[in-house]
Amino acid sequence: MSNRFVDRVVLHLSAGDGGNGCASVHREKFKPLGGPDGGNGGHGGDIILEVSPQVHTLLDFHFRPHIKASRGGNGAGDHRNGARGGDLVLEVPAGTVVLNEDGEVMADLTSNGMRYIAAQGGHGGLGNAALASRARKAPGFALKGEPGEEHDVILELKSMADVGLVGFPSAGKSSLVSVLSAAKPKIADYPFTTLRPNLGVVNVGDGTFTIADVPGLIPGASTGKGLGLDFLRHIERTAVLAHVVDAATLEPGRDPASDIEALEGELAAYESALDNDTGLGDLRDRPRIVILNKADIPEAEELAEFVRADLEEQFGWPVFVISAVAQKGLEPLKYKLMEMVENHRRENPIAESDARTIVRPQPVDAKGKTRDFVIEADPTEEGAFLVRGEKPERWIRQTDFENDEAVGFLGDRLAKLGVEDALFKAGAKAGCTVTIGELSFEWEPMTAAGVDLTPTGRGTDGRLEQTGRVSAAERKRASQVRRGLIDEFDFGDGEEADRERWQG
Q: Binding site: residue ranges?
A: 167-174, 192-196, 213-216, 293-296, 323-325
The dihedrals phi and psi of 387, each to the nearest 5 degrees, come to -110, 115
- Helix (H, G, I), strand (E, B), or coil: what is residue 90? strand
- How far is the first Cα of the chain from the last one, in angstroms, to the nearest whole number? 77
CB 76 within 8 A of CB 82: yes
∠253-259-261 over CA atoms, to 5°? 115
Annotated binding site for GTP: 167-174, 192-196, 213-216, 293-296, 323-325
CB 213 within 8 A of CB 165: yes
The alpha-helical segments, DSSP class H, found in 38-119 are: 59-63
Which among 415, 413, 420, 381 is positioned nearest to 394, based on CA atoms? 413
Can you tell me the distance from the alpha carbon of 379 to that of 376, in angstroms, rounded to the nearest whole number? 9
Q: Quick one: how far is CA 469 from the chain centroid?
A: 42
Q: Are strands 96-99 and 150-157 parallel, antiparallel or unpaired?
A: antiparallel
Angstrom distance (rounded) from CA 303 to CA 294: 11
Using the Cα atoms of residue 377, residue 379, residue 384 and residue 385 in order, give the sign of their dihedral: negative
Full 3-state SS string of 389-435? CHHHHHHHHHCCCCCHHHHHHHHHHHHHHCHHHHHHHHCCCCCCEEE
Residues listed for the chain: 504
3-state secondary structure at position 436 = strand
DSSP 318: -
